Amino acid sequence: MTDLETRVAAARATPLRRAAPALLGYAAVRALGLIVLAVWSAARGKNAYTLLTARWDALWYTRVADLGYGYEVRLPNGDVHSNLAFFPLLPWLERLLHALLPVSYADAGFVVSLVASLAAAWGIFAVADHVYGVRAGVCAVLLWAVLPVGIVQSMAYSESLFTALAAWSLYAVLTGRWVSAGVLAALAGLTRPVGLAVVAAVWAAGVAPFVRHWRDRASDGARKAGRAPEAESAARARRVPAEEGAGYATHAPSVTDGASLTRRALGMLIAPLGAAGYVLWVGLHTGKGPLGYLDVQAGWRNGFDGGYAFARFVADKFTSFPSALAGLALIIGVVLLVRLYVAGVRQGQPLALLVYTGVVTALALCASSYFGSKPRLLLPAFPLLLPLARALARLRTSPSMLVTAGIAAASAVYGAFWLNGSGPP
Secondary structure of the chain as H, E, C letters: CCHHHHHHHHHHCCHHHHHHHHHHHHHHHHHHHHHHHHHHHHHCCCCHHHHHHCCCHHHHHHHHHHHCCCCEEECCCCCEEEHHHCCCHHHHHHHHHHHHCCCCHHHHHHHHHHHHHHHHHHHHHHHHHHHHCHHHHHHHHHHHHCCCCHHHHHCCCCHHHHHHHHHHHHHHHHCCCHHHHHHHHHHHHCCCCCHHHHHHHHHHHHHHHHHHHHHHHHHHHHCCCCCCHHHHHHHHHHHCCCCCCCCHHHCCCCCCCHHHHHHHHHHHHHCCHHHHHHHHHHHHHHCCHHHHHHHHHHHCCCCECCCHHHHHHHHHHHHCHHHHHHHHHHHHHHHHHHHHHHHHHHCCCCHHHHHHHHHHHHHHHCECCCHHHHHHHCCCCHHHHHHHHHHHHHCCHHHHHHHHHHHHHHHHHHHHHHHCCCCCC
Q: How far is CA 404 from CA 31, 137, 202, 211, 337, in A?
A: 15, 14, 32, 42, 20
Residue 332: what pLDDT? 94
Q: In whole angstroms, what is the distance from residue 232 CA to residue 237 CA?
A: 9
Which residues in the chain land under pLDDT 70? Answer: 1-12, 220-257, 423-425
Q: In whole angstroms, what is the distance from residue 375 CA to residue 382 CA?
A: 12
pTM above 0.75, yes or no: yes
CB 364 within 8 A of CB 377: yes
> What one-letter code names the amino acid at 271?
A
Residue 222: what pLDDT? 62
Residue 81 has φ and ψ, to the nearest 5°, of: -95, 105
- When computed from its CA atoms, the radius of gyration of the chain, rounded to whole angstroms, is 23
CB 111 within 8 A of CB 103: yes
Q: In whole angstroms, what is the distance from residue 20 CA to residue 15 CA?
A: 9
- Residues with Cβ < 8 Å from 177, sequence gap 6 or more? none
Q: In whole angstroms, what is the distance from residue 116 CA to residue 132 CA?
A: 24
- Residues with Cβ < 8 Å from 394, sequence gap 6 or more? none
Q: In whole angstroms, what is the distance from residue 294 CA to residue 84 CA?
A: 11
Q: In whole angstroms, what is the distance from residue 392 CA to residue 399 CA?
A: 9
